[in-house]
Amino acid sequence: MWTTQNPFLQGPYEPLLNEYVIADLHVEGEIPRELNGALYRTGSNQHFRPLDVDHFHWFDGDGMVHAFRLKDGRASYCNRLVETDGLKVERAAGRALYNGISGHSSVPQQALPEGAPPIKSVAGINVISVGGRVMTMHEVDNFYWELDAHNLRTLGKFDFGDQPGAMLTAHPHTDYRAGEMLFYTHDNEAQTLECFATDMQGQVLSRQRIALPFKPWIHDFIFTENFYVFIFGPIRTRPFAPDLIPMGRSALSFDHEATTRVLLVNRQTGQGRWFGTDASFTLGHYLNAHEAADKIIIDASVTRTLRPGFTGHVEDFYPFPLINEPSPFSNPELHRITIDLSTGQVTDSRIGDFNAEFVRPNETIMGTPQRYGYMAGIHAPGPQTRGFNCLIKHDYLTGNSSFQHLSSGYDMIPGEPIFVPKPGAIAEDDGWIMAVWWDPVRNASEMVIHEARDLDGEPVARIKLDHHVPLGFHGNWIADV
């Protein structure tokens, strides 16, 4: 689409031009009748031809939300673009006006209309529920976009108070034991980080602020009973710098002299403690973390730096290569990182012989030790395109992993696995895994419900579309109340 050179505008990544409402989807198998609610999944979906099609980055574009609604054993679907301020400006002009945040471009932006935002937020990283309200977001905004839960129409902006210049996380987490939702904002120009907790309705309970010594790219964090946990790799970002995005330069850069650093922020006092490492890796997403005596144990997806002296365009290779050259980064891997609070030492080790990203646990136990982790991954033989070819369940107790490829050809590509506990569940893995898979034979997608206890077995239900859902990012199951 628009180009034959850029893999992130073709095949499973090709933007979807239509908005659908489908009342009754074809189902193979049987949808559990206990499942009443919707699986929301979002991603980037470029609406107009990019200013520079050959350098368009997967992280850029326009946010599009997809909803698979389940009720009484039946399934419906709809999708809709998020009506951000930037998209409205471009729709009025009838063409793209903005460069992307992550990709670099050979085309500087022209002057924007009066009142237009300086950069265009994608609003396509995640979908969450705050107090029963459905929100989608991007991590350069200081607010979320509220959506109609049923038709996905954009209702307006939602924030947690006036935070000018602050970038609000697209990866909040919930501490179910404390009954708190946890967030952060960071202002890279002021070099400040603010962590805050809310109740389940979104009312702020506490705020903790700390200074940052550099301008990190922060995409996710994790928590334990007493700490917010951040691991900063060598990638930096400055999305609001006037000499970057408007001039066609990526907001991302790579600090080839930096090593990975860890920051713990005390949830009660706000006191920060830094830990240095000799390693160079970028942490994509956290699966979970917990405290064990005088140690913090973190399970996460890690991309190792293979060439620490790399001085090129990080956006050409992260998270997947845009160009067909040897990457300075590894594919994402599952790692366990241990922080020794008594010695200050940080160690990490790889888990498994597979590649893994989009890591998720049973989120009701987050902040405590988990036995199981679920993720999208690459397991031999690898896919022919940029993406994953299986879902993985890893057992941290036995060290065993199980794999679901859904196809004997190893060519179907899954998205993020979402764990949904069964009503009354006691065992940690007593639930379902939901994921959206792309089928290259049909060039169409399906939402598949897997039995979490038997992930490598036959699916419970396959809910099929006649069109593809572009490979995207995150989402959540939001049950009807």
Q: Which residues are annotated as a binding site for Fe cation?
A: 171, 219, 285, 474
Stated length of the chain: 481
Closest CA to 183 of 138, 223, 238: 223
Task: Record the tokens describing residue 13, joined without a space.
Answer: 């990544």
How many C-beta atoms lie closer than 10 Å to residue 353's C-beta?
Answer: 9
414 three-class SS: strand
Residue type at position 28:
E
End-to-end alpha-carbon separation of the chain, Å? 41
**How far is CA 280 from each of CA 105, 143, 286, 475, rounded to the nearest angstrom?**
27, 32, 17, 29
Contact present, 381 and 355 (Cβ < 8 Å): no
Helical spans, DSSP H, in 249-291:
none
Closest CA to 358 of 368, 373, 347: 373
Annotated binding site: 171, 219, 285, 474
CA gap 133, 224 in Å, rounded: 26
Task: Count Cα neighbours of 438 within 13 Å in the Cβ-side half-sphere.
Answer: 23
**How far is CA 407 from each of CA 31, 390, 417, 444, 477, rounded to the nearest angstrom?**
20, 9, 17, 14, 25
Sheet strands side by side (includes 21-22):
21-22, 74-81, 63-71, 37-44, 475-479
How many C-beta atoms lie closer than 10 Å to residue 143's C-beta?
Answer: 18
